[in-house]
Amino acid sequence: MTVILTEPLTAAAFAPFGDVIELKGTPDKIINQGLCGRHHDLARVEADAEGRVGISLFDAEPRALPYRLEMMERHPLGSQAFLPLSPTSFLVIVAADAGDRPGKPHAFLTAPGQGINLFRNIWHGVLTPLSPPGVFAVVDRIGAGDNLQEYWFDTPYSIEASP
């Protein structure tokens, strides 16, 4: 198996694939009589005209490193955001398109509290928590039609922690 080493999630490194959702140093606006900071418009949420955007909860089983990556998927009709409901780190695997299949994957480790938004039609691994509880709010496209394309690798990758 080809080994992919994890790397820390940063907005710059993730920019081709999506948005990193996290508190900024300074809020965009102070609201609620000065008792709340609004960190505004952190992600580009997309859906086709026939769909709509909805919020779901995912309760996912934690995985462990080294992680066997057998499949990646993408959603041609909309974006998909994952917001952890607990301050845990999770694994975010993404890849550029290489002709209707994923190119070489990147494996990002989030910092506790970071969330992500995958742009529409970006190849990614499924939600992969690394510790319990694996409960996430998910903001993605709801509607009829086929919004899931999977690609199963002939030879899995092994996602491993950087030394």
Q: What's the min distance (Å) between Cβ of 137 and ligand UGC?
A: 13
Q: Which is nearer to ligand UGC, 37 or 151 (CB)?
A: 151
**What track of x and - describes contact with ligand UGC for positions 72 through 111 (by CB under 6 A)?**
-x------x-------------------------------
Q: Using an 8 Å Cβ cutoff, are 135 and 129 in contact?
A: no
Q: Which two tokens stand for residue 23?
A: 């508190």
Local structure of residue 12 (DSSP, 8 states):
H
Using CB under 6 A, which of the segments 2-10, 44-52, 102-110, 121-129 binds ligand UGC? 121-129
Residue 26 vs 146, nearer CB to ligand UGC: 146
Q: Give residues 62-101 in contact with Ni ion (rule: CB under 5 A).
A: 80
Is 126 one of the binding residues for ligand UGC (CB under 6 A)?
Answer: yes
**88 Cβ contact partners less than 8 Å away, ≥ 6 residues apart:** 112, 129, 130, 131, 132, 133, 134
| C-alpha separations of 16 from 4, 56, 95, 132, 145 in Å | 18, 25, 9, 29, 26
Q: How far apart are CA 132 and CA 32, in angstroms?
A: 33
Q: Does 3 bind ligand UGC (CB under 6 A)?
A: no
| Contact positions vs ligand UGC (CB under 6 A) | 73, 80, 124, 126-127
